[in-house]
Amino acid sequence: MSKNKQLQCGARTVDLSAPLVMGILNVTPDSFSDGGRFNSVNTAFAQARQMVAEGAAFIDIGGESTRPGAQAVSSQEELDRVLPVVEKIHGNLDVAISLDTSNPELMREGAKLGAGLINDVRALDRPGALEAAAETGLAVCVMHRQGEPQTMQQAPHYDDVVAEVSGYLAAKVEACVAAGIQRENIVLDPGFGFGKNLQHNVTLMANLTALLELDLPLLVGVSRKTMIGETLNKPVDERLYGGLALAVLSAAQGARILRVHDVAPTVDALRMTHAVLQAKQ
């Protein structure tokens, strides 16, 4: 487990001594699970309020779908989708706000409106993103991926998926620190489903503790993903139980943040897991 017991998310300090839930809030028309359900400020805020009531410590707001095959949106469209929701949540809810974005402009503007974490599936690779993230002073989550969302699932290949993901994330941490981001403000995401087939995903899940050697908090996002559907032969809306199993396995191996659609059941599963782990002698 990472020695980092706290994460400074802007003005908010988040306690990572127990595993926490990050609620997914997609303000997009085309996300794979809930596209179009929360793409107005009022419906998005109502969903955020519900997730906070259910125990979410973070709300992760995304204005551009990154599902396999997803198409890019313009910077302005992403800003228009996300910023009003950030402002509304920051003004009304007691929760850390995460920006699910690769857009440097959204990083800067979201920080001004109260966001505390930048969660970038492209690991700050877009031109200007690394500099923008450093300027904000916010915590950042960098994720491993192979390829881009449009093509990443066509033929992913690894010689050693655990070693390659770990090496990639270690290099990204070095780049972040060199750009002026505080090391203790970095979170790592192994990127389940992002340029990985089922065997890659389950191997990574079985060996999560290898990533703890980087001594930074781990965020895991497997909620409703294809790895569950392929294993259990279940459609997207019937993957809760598989997702809970993976959340428990992740927490038992030291993950600190679980990014999920189904907040209440995941909060219960993690609290129970943590209670048992705390009693281990």
Tell me whether residue 225 is one of the annotated catalytic residues. Answer: yes
Angle, in degrees to the nearest 10, between helices 129-136 and 161-178: 60
* C-alpha span between 1 and 97 (Å, rounded): 24
Question: Under 8 Å CB-to-CB from 97, ≥6 apart: which residues?
Answer: 9, 58, 59, 61, 86, 89, 90, 110, 114, 115, 116, 117
* C-alpha span between 98 and 271 (Å, rounded): 22
**Catalytic entry in 196, 224, 225, 256:** 225
* C-alpha span between 205 and 128 (Å, rounded): 32
Tell me whether residue 224 is one of the annotated catalytic residues. Answer: no
For residues 54 and 264, the answer to whether their CB atoms sit within 8 Å is yes
Q: What are phi and psi of 143, to 5 degrees?
A: -115, 145
Which tokens sit at 166?
């770990």
**Catalytic entry in 145, 172, 256, 259:** 259
Helix/strand/coil for 232:
helix
Which residues pair with residue 98 across a beta bridge?
Answer: 60, 117
Which tokens sit at 232?
């259990």
Give catalytic residues, as residue numbers.
Answer: 225, 259
